[in-house]
Structure 1
């Protein structure tokens, strides 16, 4: 990647150690994870469950490998719990990321989420009431104000098994929130898995997008998840997600749209799968080569 590029390339540790299913990759150490990220040619990372939680401890590990922190996931419960509970946890999370130099905070509403439950991910996904939508949008704007105190932005992660997954739900969230306070995370894998048009979503909301996740979908497994009425985590175990270039998504028009929009920020490869079946270093290298060949980044 050239230093002149406004786009920086990171990879998520979830390919090495899974936060939702810690048994996946339990044998992989934190040091192995970040070393292999650097070896594969990435310059950034998101934060995983094995990472040190103190900036003074974490920073030297990353600096030795020339890695920066792109962001980290935050679970909000704005629709189901008092705002103060989410705000208290958010401030702690925000301050950690700010100390690590991150500029965006990934936020996903987990109120009523089934992504960690043994329920069919499509037929049992939550549908928010109007009151819950109001609590969500009002709460997100308040979190956006808290992020601004550290000169940061929140980026909302649409996600399978949650109340903001589909095109209409993403459109509503964007329409009902202040663009100065709430931005969007764009995730190719979750959009295609859900049955949405990723290119159309990007073109519609590119002005709000401040963080990007690149993951691919294995089409046959995605269809199997629907037919078998699998849960989200069962789909992950089966291998529904993979790295760019290894699945059904055509990333070339998406990359062109990103360039045309003038996007500046991180593109994070994120493909959670069982590391015993998909060697993380092998797949990280595969993703890095594909992006270089497809996008020249």
Structure 2
């Protein structure tokens, strides 16, 4: 079998398999140094920034340089759909650009991930299926205008804003992604393709790639266990319940159902360039440790992509 060729990509992983950023008690006992050392040991080139990472630029640069790691993308939660939060969100985005400008590493990333967490329920212990936020016209207008503003600021400084669809928010389904792409300026607002969140929300990741290839500038390779997603006992579960039950896993895990060969082939056909970042929020004290899953994912990508 001929390997899929994505030569202008880099391999990263998020620290959420070690310590969860949304639910910090998951993996709270795992130190930062273990996380980044195991990321490098598994064969990854970079990682996103977790809440246990040093907040000082010098300390972070030193820790990453010691392990020859780069930052894949920093994160900014936006709140444009919340009255009075527009300027706060813009200020937070400016601060994140300043921070990223100071981060060193073998691969200099210019992507900043964002998602609209105004009206989000993903941190609440309430049903994802029954309580999903649905944006009004005013919400869509505020979000699109706000994203265009910070996206323009990013472009002016040589960065790119990449929007992350997320379960429990107003932008999680394929039609909602289509709406966001249609209502925002293609010069300023790009798409972070998260295979797991899209698949969980009923989207076809390959169809999203085909529809928005020119906007996709960053990729999260997240796997979903459909058997967990479809459990009757979790019909009214919230996001944290699903995470603790094992909804997420990594590419290469045979208990997952996301069609990664088709996704990688679609990215190849569109000549995707950029980071391929493995992400799988999970309980690090489950049946297997985080390093096991990190190595499993890296070996899978090596098999599929030939490197």
Give the TM-score, by structure 1 length.
0.96
**What aligned pairs does 1:132-171 form with structure 2 within 5 A after superposition?**
132-171=139-178
Counterpart residue number, 1:296: 306
| Contact 1:98–1:150 under 8 Å retained in 2 | no
C-alpha distance in 2, partners of 1:156/1:262? Answer: 20
Q: How many residues align?
A: 294
**What aligned pairs does 1:277-296 form with structure 2 within 5 A after superposition?**
277=286, 278-296=288-306
| Contact 1:77–1:111 under 8 Å retained in 2 | yes
What are the ranges of 5 or more consecutive residues in structure 2 without an aligned counterpart? 1-5
2:246 to 233, 239, 245: 239
Map Cα deviations across residues 13-60 of structure 1 (whole Å, 9 max, x no partner): 011111111111111111100000000000011000011112211111
- Deviation, 1:196, is 1.0
C-alpha distance in 2, partners of 1:205/1:279? Answer: 35
1:10 to 2:12 alignment: yes
What are the ranges of 5 or more consecutive residues in structure 1 without an aligned counterpart? none
User: Are the structure 2 counterparts of residues 260 and 25 from structure 1 closer, same or farther at C-alpha, using a change threshold of 3 Å?
Assistant: same
| Contact 2:174–2:202 under 8 Å retained in 1 | no
Counterpart residue number, 2:101: 98
Q: Greater CA deviation, 180-189 or 143-152?
A: 143-152
- Deviation, 1:226, is 8.0
- Deviation, 1:150, is 2.1
Moved over 6 A (4+): none
Counterpart residue number, 2:3: none
Is the partner of 1:9 in helix, strand or coil? Answer: strand
Counterpart residue number, 1:24: 26
Counterpart residue number, 1:173: 180
Counterpart residue number, 1:49: 51
Give the TM-score, by structure 2 length.
0.93
Counterpart residue number, 2:281: 272
| Contact 1:159–1:190 under 8 Å retained in 2 | yes
